[in-house]
Structure formats: C-alpha cells, structure tokens
Amino acid sequence: MQAKIGSSVEEVLDIFGRDVEINTYRPDLYATSYEFQKAGVKISVTILPDRASKIDVAYAKRPAEEIAVLLQRYSGIGGWRRASTGDAGFARHFPLFDPTRADYFVAEGVVAMIQKDVGFGELVLWIQTEQYPNLLQGYRSKQKKRSTQNTRDSQGCA
C-alpha cells in the first residue's frame, strides 16, 4: 500500500479500497476527509482543494519500521529528516500541539509530526504539505463567505 500526498480522491480509493467512511465533521472548519481502517491502522486522508494534502496514520500497536520508512510509505515522498520542534515550521503547521510531546520531520514539500502513546494509538503520523495551513485558511474563508451569503439569502437580502 503506497499512499501519496497529491493523490486525487479516485487514486486514494484505489490505494486504500472502497470501504471508506467519509468524514464531514465541522465542514465550516475542516475539509472532507476519507477514513480507512486496515488491520490495526487508521488512515485519514484530507482532500484540499482537490488532492490529498494531509494524511494522518494512527497505529494501534507501534510497528517495527523506522519512522522515515513509514513517512515515505504514507506520503509517497522520500528524504525525510528529523527537525527541531522549536523550529518555526513546527509552530506554523502544528500550532495546537505541545512540541515537548512530539517529533518533527521534514522532506521536500511536506512536513510531519510524530506522536507516541497518545489517545489515537501507540504511534500517530500527521503528514501534510507545506501549503496545508494556507489551503486550510483559504477553505475556511470560502466556507465563511458561503455561510454569510446563505444567511443573507435566507433573510431576503441581496
């Protein structure tokens, strides 16, 4: 199974299968994600705007493979290297997370946060494109405009 940042919805379904749960939790804040369960692994792929820009992987049990190997498997990108959680990139990409409880990895065009023994599993990989924060901000702005327009339309405003 080889995932890839930048895959289309169809490619994601071809990779992980058609047994998928589509998650539209808080569509005002988060784009649709596609969630797959595979033998002790939960994979969540966020499509934004029309390609996989974020892939989260939660292992119930910690696998034996090295982190860089897992990151390559689920991103489709090689050359991963460890970076400091004190780096501004970590704060930009993972602002709600405690840098003392995570590891930070970077590769060409992508970043990842690694957490061990958290509520989601023994090992969690949060992989996203460098553009993800901007894409998410753009998505939220568009949703806010849409919501404002719908409210105005329902009130009979032009």
Please write the tens of the pLDDT for every residue from 35-51: 999 889 999 999 998 99
pLDDT of 14 reads 92
pLDDT of 156 reads 66
Residue numbers of the domain that contains 143: 9-152
Mean pLDDT across the chain, nearest whole number? 89
Tell me: the pLDDT tens digits for 50-84? 999 999 999 999 999 999 999 999 999 999 999 99
More confident residue, 29 or 16: 16
Report CA 28 to chain centroid distance, whole Å: 17
In this structure, is residue 157 part of a structural domain?
no
In this structure, is residue 4 part of a structural domain?
no
Report CA 102 to chain centroid distance, whole Å: 16
CA distance 2 to 16: 9
The total number of structural domains in the chain stands at 1
pLDDT of 31 reads 83
In this structure, is residue 64 part of a structural domain?
yes
Amino acid symbol at 152:
R
More confident residue, 3 or 77: 77
In this structure, is residue 2 part of a structural domain?
no
In this structure, is residue 1 part of a structural domain?
no
pLDDT of 12 reads 92
pLDDT of 129 reads 97
Tell me: the pLDDT tens digits for 98-122? 999 999 999 999 999 999 988 878 9
CA distance 4 to 86: 27
In this structure, is residue 158 part of a structural domain?
no
In this structure, is residue 88 part of a structural domain?
yes
In this structure, is residue 76 part of a structural domain?
yes
Kind and range of the H or E run holding 90: helix 88-93
Q: Read off the pTM.
A: 0.86
Band of residue 144 on the pLDDT scale cut at 50, 70, 90: confident
Q: Is the pLDDT of residue 158 over 60?
A: no
Band of residue 152 on the pLDDT scale cut at 50, 70, 90: low
